[in-house]
Amino acid sequence: MGTQIHYELFKRAGAKGAWTMHDVLSSRERAIEMAQELMKGEKATGVKVVKETYNDDTGDYLSLKIFEDGHNQVKVDPKAEDAPHAIPCFKPDDLYSYHARSTMTRLLTDFLSRNKVTITELIHRADLLEKLEAAGTVYQHAIQKVAVAQAASTTTPVQQIVKSLNELSSQAFNRVYRDQRKALFPELQAEQFDELARKLVSQADASYIFNGALALFLSKAKGWDDKVHRLLTIMELAPAEEAPRKLILGTVDAILAETLNGSAALHELMGAAENLAQALRNLVELFLGRSCNGARAGLSGLAHHFASDSLPEAKTALANRIVAELKANKRLCPDNMVDELKALRELANKIVMGVGKYMSHEDIVASFTLRAKRLVTQETLTPYIADAAVDEKVERLLFVEDNIIGSENKRALAAFVQPVLQSALFDNHFQNPKLPLLQRLQKLAQIQARVLRSGFIDVTKAEIADKLDALACQVEARGKLFDSVEARTPNHVEKAQTQLRLATTGILTEGKLAEAARARILAHLGKPGFLAGYMAAQKKDGVAPDSEKVMADLIAILGKAGITAETGLKSIAA
């Protein structure tokens, strides 16, 4: 496509005159100069130059207006005639600034991805600019978007801003076309860029020429990894002198940052991933300066330089990319909630090692909080617990709680947990006599302990803990656990020891049930002859144990059961 190009010059005479073709030329510059001469000589009230590109495949012409001027082209309020143009750039050099390049990258993302180039390469390569112009709608839509955005904050008409932007872009395009024909951008090998940097460092347009030469060098790269490898090679060959070295390192760093900002480039660099979780793991590893086994030269070299912190702009771009992906709507592991939560925790543990000047703690917390927020919704949680038994539903929800952050997210999750705990199904499950009594009590105690360790607010934790304790008391009363202990054990020593095992092995919920067990334990401790009987029970092979050690061990066990040493010593009867 685009092997035949010509430029048609149109002029208009009079306030309402129609457009008539004035000339057809093969030179872009000559066509624009002739249009400007017509206006200066007052031989027309309006002129425009249209670029016609012949498509060999379809046999059609693609028309693109590249220049327009005229006294009556746009109706402008007389008061606004002298107002400054509301455009973000005022001269071609402005288009090479960081903010201008960032804006153009957003507007031309698809074009850059298709052609596997960065914005810096595009604005320094005549062949790519020619191709962009041939894709007329892409080019014009980009200008219109900028114009509309600028017009929103000014009284200048959109049409006037579009005209100014078109003129500015044409000047910038013509400059590159002219400099390319003049061979201003030398074709070099990697080892020759240090000499070019030394030669250019004192010139005002050093960055422009150096980027142009670099763009030509990168045009021969076979894919993004090769391009990154070429850039890093030039960087590693940079001279020791400060000024030329700064020119090389700054230029390479900026282009690498643009590369890492592009989705298509990053995807090709990193390779295919099973899901977003794996892709993010790889990005974080790269950010931390770790390259996986078998990584290609470009990616491996990038990891090495990240480890030595020699590419600040590129590393910042990667950090921003990681944060952006964390904030995105896409699930980490869309097919499995458990894997999603595990991946979230794993990523958090990895990323925290990279928090510093490139990645703030506040940004990381905000991104993980936002991602967690999308997990504590009806649409996500309902399928996750739908096929589980009622007690497992609670455990699954508490697993979610353990792997998310954010007080609001915890509060939202509690709103899912409480209805399950308060349901008749939950009560009936634990009142079912077909299930072992100790198993039911232990499960209630485990759930309660997990809730008390959670990040729910204190009021919610207390409500849930009381509910579970009340249910455990009912279960114990129906199963007569304490009464059976009293009936089956022959003496107070064994009764106390059995109750202590219940109280210290996570079978009893904290609250009324545990208090009831402690009351029984203290009652048995206070029975006459308890201490003598307890000491006798500790004998092994007829050898009496060390009484002080036995007492210390007993006090320790009582402590685990929630009985203080002071209370225990006061209660033990000789």
For the beta sheet containing 4-12, the strands, ordered from the edge strand earlier in sequence to the opposite edge, are 20-25, 4-12, 46-54, 61-70
pLDDT at 9 over 90: no
pLDDT at 402 over 80: yes
Name the nearest CA neighbour of 230 among 209, 259, 204. Answer: 259
Alpha-helix runs per DSSP H in 406-546: 407-421, 424-431, 437-453, 458-479, 481-488, 492-504, 512-525, 530-537
How far is residue 486's CA from residue 496's CA, in Å, rounded to a whole number? 9
Q: Which residues pair with 405 in a beta bridge?
A: none
Domain residue spans in the chain? 4-73, 480-571
Residue 32 contacts residue 68 (beta carbons within 8 Å): no
pLDDT in tens, 249-304: 999 999 999 999 888 888 998 888 899 999 999 999 999 998 776 678 889 999 99
Residue reference for tokens 């000559």? 30
pTM for the model stands at: 0.77
Mean pLDDT for the stretch of residues 109-116: 91
Q: Using alpha carbons, list the distances in angstroms from residue 514 to 90, 337, 503, 517.
A: 78, 35, 7, 5
Of 72-76, 156-160, 184-188, 408-412, the least confident: 72-76
Q: Which amino acid is at 301?
A: G
End-to-end CA distance of the chain: 105
pLDDT at 57 over 50: yes
How far is residue 400's CA from residue 395's CA, in Å, rounded to a whole number? 9
Q: What is the DSSP letter of 94?
A: G
Q: Using alpha carbons, list the distances in angstroms from residue 200 to 209, 213, 237, 242.
A: 8, 12, 16, 13
pLDDT band, residue 88 (cuts 50/70/90): low
- Angle CA(150)–CA(156)–CA(162) in degrees, nearest 5? 60
